[in-house]
Structure 1
Amino acid sequence: MTAQNTTLAIWLMVITSFIFAAQDGISRHLAGTYNVYMVVMIRYWFFAAFVVAIASRQKGGLARVIATRQKLLQSFRGILLVAEVIVMVSAFVLLGLVESHAVFAAYPLLVAALSGPVLGEKVGWRRWVSIGIGFIGVLIILQPGYGVFSPYAVIPVASALMFALYNLLTRYAARQDSAATSFFWTGTVGAAVLTPVGLYFWEPMIASDWMWMCVLCLTASTGHFTLIKCYELAEASAVQPFAYLQSVFAVMAGLFFFGEVLELHVAIGAAVVACAGLFTLWRAHTAQG
């Protein structure tokens, strides 16, 4: 791994983060007008087509990529991710991009906390301290016990927990299956499970919103493509901290395009969560806790 490749991979992660933030903004717009199941279903149709196209180009073709001895695990991963996407998009509509992403940024901390019981990994005291500090940051954002606290605030917490578990199960699946296999099952299972639900809640969409839907589907495919290229050039630990920029870009979209407000307690809490998360990623890279 050369320094040049690492630099390029970092820029690709920055681009990926921007694309995914744009995807979040478009999802917020569409799900605010149309049923969230329908919006996510159409997005997953294109995602499934993308993963099939990627799989068909792998050595051995589709047959080799599909093959797995962990069908139940891979299916559960796919269902879990599509459920997480629905929950998070719902949070965008109910809470906005700013507060949703401020809370969701805690998911790396949850990954670290759950890596012991799920994967049997050792989590040292330093990372437990950072997890505790990150939890304090989430409490600062949510302000439990205050009159301004909204029960909707638990939605991005649930989304972060689901995404953390998805990440852990992906690492568990990687012990036997290739990344291409996991990627294929994620897209196809999600599309298959969501399609009957999404069709049931189908609503007519105006022409201008179909344009936004096409852009949403394009960002989903483009973002995953740049992410794949990013991980081909550098180790995940070298580029993962820059994934936090998705929250930064999404917050900017919420402020400038949706008229949301960044309240002081949310900014402080998000900073605490981000610092704790970055420290956790650094510890995972440099030492065993």
Structure 2
Amino acid sequence: MRPQDRTGFAILLSLLALAFFDAMGLIIKHLSGSYSAAELAAWRNFFGIFPACLALWSSRTWRAMGRKLRIRQWRLAFCRGAIVTGAQLSFYLSLARMDFATASTITYANALFMTALAVPLLGEKVGPLRWFAVIVGFIGVVLIMRPGSEAFTPDALLPLVAAVLYALVGVTARLFDDDVASPLVNLYSSAASVLGAFCIAFFWGGFSPLANGSDVLWIVAMGTVGGTAVLCLVISYRMTEQSNLAPFSYFGIPMAFILGWIFFDETPFDTLFPGAILITVGGLMIIWRERVLLKRTKTRIIR
């Protein structure tokens, strides 16, 4: 238990972050008819860097370390920013070409990929139960994508690529030195994402003229809401153990379905089920197993 553990409030913040992420996705889908995914990623990262700066400024760990901005593993931090850019580009493309809930649900497979990637990158040992959970979740992904059927399109690979890249971002976060504040790592990655996204947008075809004032407001809102979502997650992770928050992330699946239904009149029941249930079950099994292992480790330390 952390000294100032506030699990209840942390859960509320994490759920608020989910709502903000979904709101960002809705705005991206709304704007995707007029602007490319590369442009939207660039603007998202540009306006999102301000909440990242706020998260760093409010970090007690960073202030206690003397407010240093230089980190030893800056190359890794910038590399993570490049990976984030690729994940965003894949996800934003999928939002433009697929049902909102379907694209969002497939990206929740990132928890499964994080477990698999932890073996080669972190040297972790994954037991039979967690591998079984990964297989269950991946079967859910296959059921949603339906490869080999007439319903399958290459666009379905886009959110899957995004899930792998987001998982890679999550795993590599654990490679940083323990004395580096998480908001500082996030700021480095955000800065690299801004640079990478603008470069891709430039070579993708440049930036389209903003059609009207309302689009400007939507773009500002997209970046601000997305950055604020990250800020809420950073704050919530400082309040309690991440394992206390992880199960609630799957509330995003029904939330995405409801929002897609309300705003875009999309009801992809046949596409999502039962695949979405299997993805959720697989993810929750992994979370449960990791909590059990963490409790065992703490018990051994106390003894």
Name the TM tier (shorter chain): over 0.9
User: Is 1:204–2:205 an aligned residue pair?
Assistant: no
RMSD: 2.3
Q: Which moved more, 1:158-167 or 1:238-247?
A: 238-247
Sort the Cα spacing of 1:57 and 1:105 in 2 relative to 1 into closer, same or farther, 3 A: closer
In 1: Cα distance, 2:5 partner to 2:81 partner: 34
Match of 2:150 in 1: 147
Q: Structure 2: which 5+ residue stretches go unaligned?
A: 297-303
In 2: Cα distance, 1:269 partner to 1:259 partner: 21
Match of 2:261 in 1: 255
In 1: Cα distance, 2:149 partner to 2:198 partner: 40
Contact 2:49 2:191 in 1 (8 A): yes
* Secondary structure in 1 matching 2:255: helix
Contact 1:21 1:247 in 2 (8 A): no
Structure 1 residue 10: Cα displacement: 1.0
Sort the Cα spacing of 1:24 and 1:233 in 2 relative to 1 into closer, same or farther, 3 A: same
Structure 1 residue 181: Cα displacement: 2.1
Structure 1 residue 49: Cα displacement: 2.8
How many percent of aligned residue pairs carry the same amino acid? 25
Contact 2:28 2:40 in 1 (8 A): yes
Match of 1:271 in 2: 277
In 2: Cα distance, 1:181 partner to 1:106 partner: 27
In 1: Cα distance, 2:53 partner to 2:235 partner: 17
Structure 1 residue 197: Cα displacement: 3.5
Q: Which moved more, 1:220-229 or 1:51-60?
A: 51-60
Sort the Cα spacing of 1:105 and 1:60 in 2 relative to 1 into closer, same or farther, 3 A: closer
Sort the Cα spacing of 1:204 and 1:178 in 2 relative to 1 into closer, same or farther, 3 A: same
* CA deviation map 1:54-77 (0-9, x unaligned): 434555599944311112211110
Match of 1:184 in 2: 187
* CA deviation map 1:183-237 (0-9, x unaligned): 1111111112222343552111221221211221221232122222211211110
Match of 2:133 in 1: 130
Contact 1:102 1:269 in 2 (8 A): no
Sort the Cα spacing of 1:263 and 1:225 in 2 relative to 1 into closer, same or farther, 3 A: same
Structure 1 residue 177: Cα displacement: 2.8
Match of 1:115 in 2: 118
* CA deviation map 1:136-161 (0-9, x unaligned): 11111111111111111111111111
The amino acid across from 1:185 in the alignment is: Y
Match of 1:66 in 2: 69
The amino acid across from 1:81 in the alignment is: V
In 2: Cα distance, 1:273 partner to 1:240 partner: 14
Sort the Cα spacing of 1:91 and 1:75 in 2 relative to 1 into closer, same or farther, 3 A: same
Q: Structure 1: which 5+ residue stretches go unaligned?
A: none
TM-score (norm 2): 0.88
Contact 2:48 2:224 in 1 (8 A): no
Q: Which moved more, 1:47-56 or 1:167-176?
A: 47-56
Select 2:292's aligned residue among 282, 286, 289. 286
Match of 1:16 in 2: 17
Contact 2:106 2:141 in 1 (8 A): yes
The amino acid across from 1:190 in the alignment is: S
